Copies of this chain bind each other. A is one copy, B any other.
Amino acid sequence: MKITRTPEADAMTELILEIFHLNGQLLLEGDRLTEPLGLTSARWQVLGAVELASHPMSVAQISRRMGLSRQAVQRVANDLEGQGFINFENNPDHVRAKLIVPTKKGQKVLRKIAVIQAKWSNALAKGIGKARLIDTLEVLTEIKSRCEIMNIKPSKVEA
């Protein structure tokens, strides 16, 4: 059976390979920027998600927001607690699901990393054009959304 890709699908395929490359480069950049502060890309992302939340959230809540598995975030969060960047505080609404709260140390490192990230992203984005970046974001969001729809398991659909 001969199946040919549309010109769009050819472009999509190239784009996907580029996303894999860029993902790797961005993780390297994240490691490079946060290494002096004792963080890594993964830990920074979790700590940042904690910071962005308007109220303290549990591991499971953070994982859903980040699009990672619950266990991946759990392990990183445990690491962050071990490093003294966050505490698990009792949740009045749930005995098991403790709430993640940054420590003083965690807040301090977040302020430092905010400065570093601002300088870095200013330099990285300079001259590309806000409109082009937003267009790009929209295309990627559309692709992600289509993937999510395709990936829904039948069991989930019935449920």
Binding site for B on A (CB under 8 A): 1, 3-16, 18-26, 28-29, 32, 45, 66-68, 114-115, 117-126, 128-130, 132-137, 139-144, 146-148, 150-151
Contact = CB atoms under 8 A, between A and B. Distances in A.
A9 B68 contact: no
Given A20-B23, A20-B45, A45-B20, A13 B139 contact: no
* A interface, over-half SS: helix
Identical subunits present: 2
A99 B11 CA distance: 30
A118 B132 CA distance: 28
A23 B45 CA distance: 15
12 contacts: A5-B121, A5-B122, A9-B118, A9-B121, A14-B137, A19-B140, A20-B26, A21-B67, A23-B23, A25-B148, A25-B151, A132-B135
